[in-house]
Amino acid sequence: MNRRERQRGLLRKMGVDVWTLRGGGVEVAGAEQAVQVEGGESTPPEAPVGDAAQPAQPDESPQSLARVEQAVSVCRKCELHQTRTNTVFGCGDPEANWLFIGEAPGHNEDLQGQPFVGRAGKLLDMMIAALGMKREQVFIANVLKCRPPDNRDPLPGEIEQCEPYLHQQLALIKPKVIVALGRVSAQSLLKTTTPLGKLRNQTHHYGNQKIPLIATYHPAYLLRSPGQKAAAWEDLWQAREIVEGL
Ligand code: URA
């Protein structure tokens, strides 16, 4: 199977309509708009935002994922513990090459204690399937382990208090790539206010281990703007090349 055939297969799995252009490129369309991903104009990559410096804290020594999960389950470091139903530690292969990081649990995740179980989660599963994997073969986590009331954006203090848990997860899982899902995830991981559109199309590096990080759209945004699925696919492809050492 050549690259174009593989590309078309992956796009179909993400629920993106595909047809071939006369010039040989592949055009993909969501419900609202069409985006040319090959053989069309490309946007020059933005200047790198710089590596996010994440010095390891003394309390971040790796233990085991089960122990970190236990610590998360009784965490009271911020006020979100007062309104949560369950903590959402994350799920997947503890030795995964891929770590997907969302923003924070929503209503369904809070009820079930699992990340990305709602409609956005179904689309994330399709994105993972488009990469030839199942949810169990990657690790899925969030910047925050507890749901902010009414799904408001995480507060800086909440992100700061929760960050050591993410660092511990990273130190134990040692993924080959991090995929930051959405603006809040990308900006808080990279410690920047740069818009998501400018964080895409480049490889960042996260933390002391300098794990390659790719920023892409949040699946919930893709549900609202399916025309951006092709761009998200480009991001996933870039991440895949990192994992495969290409
Ligand atoms: N959105 C997120 O960012 N994370 C989840 O777990 C669910 C929805």
Tokens describing residue 42? 């490309």
| pLDDT band with cut points at 50, 70 and 90 for residue 27 | very low
Give per-residue burial for 115-130: e unless 16+ CB within 10 Å, then b: bbbbebbebbbbbbeb
Quick one: 187 exposed, middle or buried, by C-beta within 10 A (0-12, 13-18, 19+)?
A: buried
Q: Is 148 in the pocket of ligand 1 (CB under 6 A)?
A: no
Average pLDDT on 30-45 reads 33
Q: How far apart are CA 168 and CA 164, in angstroms?
A: 6
Q: Is 235 in the pocket of ligand 1 (CB under 6 A)?
A: no
Least confident of 25-34, 97-106, 111-120, 128-137: 25-34
Atom of ligand 1 nearest to the CA of 109: 6
**Separation of CA 17 and ligand 1 centre (Å):** 25
Q: What residues contact residue 63 under an 8 Å CB cut-off, 6+ apart?
A: 168, 172
Regarding pTM above 0.85, the answer is no
In the numeric block, the tokens 């410690």 are attached to 191
Q: Is 143 in the pocket of ligand 1 (CB under 6 A)?
A: no
Atom of ligand 1 nearest to the CA of 108: 7
- Residues 93-121 pLDDT 10s: 999 999 999 999 999 999 999 999 999 99
Q: Is the pLDDT of residue 25 over 50?
A: no
Please report the pLDDT score of residue 131 as a whole number: 97
More confident residue, 6 or 164: 164
Instruction: Provide the H-helix boundaries in 40-153.
Output: 65-73, 107-112, 119-130
- Residues 175-196 pLDDT 10s: 999 999 999 999 999 999 999 9
